[in-house]
Amino acid sequence: MLVETLKGLFYRDLNRLKIEIASYSREENIWIVDRGIANSAGNLCLHLIGNLQTYIGAEIGKTGYIRNREAEFSLKDIPRELLLNKIDDTINVVDLALDKLNQYNLAAIYPILVFEKKTTTEYLLVHLTTHLTYHLGQINYHRRLLDIG
């Protein structure tokens, strides 16, 4: 079933996100912006958390999460441990929210207009997995390019 596949992908890649953030040799390097790289790894991490907590947590899981997208890109120097805790929280929220879904829910129109036209919940969830993977790759390159001991 697609729900189990999605849960597996979110679990895998959110844990990879934890590994990337934990792998920086110096915590302050998580927040570097340099050489035409517009977003730090820390801000991309906050963005991924906000995105998943909003579209999966708040909407599907009814968690009450309220997103501050601007803060995802403007906050700086959040301690690494707090980022890792926020990722753990997101893993739990995604897992619990996806457990609420069935084939009918997946085929239903997602209640929030996210793109130019309405999509199914299934479409949005698949998009969210690729969005996570895209930014995870950016964070990996950020770490390898800018995490200078």
pLDDT tens series, the chain, 149 aa: 899 999 999 999 999 999 999 999 999 999 999 978 899 999 999 999 999 999 999 999 999 999 999 999 999 999 999 999 999 999 999 999 999 999 999 999 999 999 999 999 999 999 999 999 999 999 999 999 999 87
Q: What pLDDT does 135 receive? A: 98
Q: What pLDDT does 12 receive? A: 98
CB 67 within 8 A of CB 53: yes
Q: Comparing C-alpha atoms, which of 33, 27, 25 is closest to residue 138?
A: 33
Q: What pLDDT does 104 receive? A: 96
Q: What pLDDT does 2 receive? A: 95
Number of domains, the chain: 1
DSSP letter, residue 75: -
Question: Residue 81: which CATH number?
Answer: 1.20.120.450
Query: Would you call 101 exposed, middle or buried from its count of C-beta atoms within 10 A (0-12, 13-18, 19+)?
Result: buried
Q: What is the domain extent for residue 92?
A: 2-146
